[in-house]
Amino acid sequence: MNTIKPVFIPDHLYGIIGYPLGHSLSPLLHNWGFQHYNLKAIYCKWPMPTDRLPEFVAALRTLSIPGVSVTIPHKRAIMPYLDGLTADAMHAGAVNTLFWRDGELWGDNTDVQGFLEPLTARRSQIRTALVLGVGGASRAVVWGLKRFGVERVTVCGRSSESTVSLARDAGCVYIPWEERGQWSGDLLVNATPLGMSGKFRELSPWPGKISNIHIAYDLVYNPQETCFLRQAKEGGIQRVGGLEMFIAQAQGQFRLWTKKELPNEPVRELLSSALGEVG
């Protein structure tokens, strides 16, 4: 006699929008969290071209979906469709999380706190920082560093126009891309895609050996050991990998949506195992 398995019907639907989404770890992480707390919820991937954002937000409002993660290329594009922005989203100029507040659809940026979390114990060591890259992630990093009380934040990108724009908006200084190798200071951040699994895997934004720097922080999390972090290791420099930030920003989202905490070690083991498979 065949046994009919019960069908899982979630009470709540969450998801991530971006285009393309590729090997996003967010569904794995959040669905694990829902199961861990026995929540009747499911987290999906929604590949979404930018020209469909208006209809997506309209559907989001109609269906009362309680939370959505937002990734490239929508972090800035989705902002005009929202009812409100948190201080982090406003200052970073980008949104990575949607949630409801008093019946209104709001945007937050948990990348800011996610970036800062691994640096908390090292806060006293960081007075100066150089951020490589001038995209959406860079804006969250720069705002986070200024919120952290870093005295001098410098930005540097391949596009001089975008670099000047970020420096002006964030109230920080900039240096030309060609001069980045001459910089020395406390914290060096890679906020570029260089080193990411795929065609950029063996590339680094830093020319030569990393020296005269206290901490090297790579936002790339796949692979976990990037070319940039290997350079830092060879120079005997403290290192922070992108997985630390990814976990912390996801914990911020999960907390915002469910009021519950994702435990560190089980989540780290889960994602490290997954990265071993896809990397």
Report how far residue 100's alpha carbon sits from residue 83's, in angstroms, rounded to the nearest whole number: 10
Active-site hit among 40, 45, 75, 260: 75
The single-letter DSSP state of residue 2 is P
Cβ-proximal residues to 124 (8 Å cutoff; 6+ apart), any chain: none
- Inter-CA distances, 47 with 20, 59, 70, 103, 177, Å: 6, 15, 11, 26, 33
* CA-closest candidate to residue 179, choices 200, 163, 202: 163
Report how far residue 105's alpha carbon sits from residue 63's, in angstroms, rounded to the nearest whole number: 12
- Inter-CA distances, 92 with 98, 147, 211, 221, Å: 15, 11, 29, 21
* CA-closest candidate to residue 69, choices 101, 125, 29: 29
Token digits of residue 73: 């290329």
Residue 244 CA, chain-centre distance (Å), reads 10
Q: Is 259 a catalytic residue?
A: no
Work out the number of other CB atoms within 10 angstroms of the CB of residue 203: 14
Report how far residue 200's alpha carbon sits from residue 206's, in angstroms, rounded to the nearest whole number: 13
Residues assigned a catalytic role:
75
